[in-house]
Amino acid sequence: MPNLAAVMKDEIRRLARKEIKTETATAKRSVAQHRKDITELKRQVHELAREVAYLRRQEHKRVGTASVPDLAVTPRFSPGWVEAHRDRLDFSAADYGELVGVSAMTIYNWEKGKTKPGPQQLAAWAEVRTLGKRDAIKRLEMTGA
């Protein structure tokens, strides 16, 4: 009897391997096909990325950098920055307001954090805050004259 049990175990093992092999063959074929598809898609993405980069360079050459303004970037505002810049220039609130194009009271309210500049005022202030003392004095003399 021990022989019969060993033979049966061997036959069951052989049939199980055969069954597993047939079941996994289709999965192996589909995995191989998916890998080929992924490789092809990666190649296409690489080619498209190169083409986009080329077209961006061509557009950059055609348009140039000066004519493409970045409208999404708005200057940041801080009441402390207004006060610090005005102190660095050694201007009164009235002079600084004239430089920016607003009243002295507006500058005072900005510095105290009571109000914030609107979009046009913010743009004017952002331009003024880049000025040094000499440039600010020149610009103030031009506006006063």
Q: Is 54 left (phi over 0), alpha (psi -120 to 50) or beta?
A: alpha
- Position 71 scores a pLDDT of 52
Domain borders along the chain are 1-68, 79-144
Amino acid at 39: T
One digit per residue, pLDDT tens: the chain, 145 residues? 568 888 999 999 999 999 999 889 989 999 999 999 999 999 999 999 999 999 998 988 888 755 445 555 678 888 998 999 999 999 999 999 998 999 999 999 999 999 999 988 998 999 888 888 899 888 888 877 5
- Position 64 scores a pLDDT of 73
pTM, 2 dp: 0.49
- Position 68 scores a pLDDT of 46
Contact 124, 101 (CB under 8 A): yes
CATH 1.10.260.40 fits 79-144, yes or no: yes
Burial class (CB in 10 A: 0-12, 13-18, 19+), 125: buried
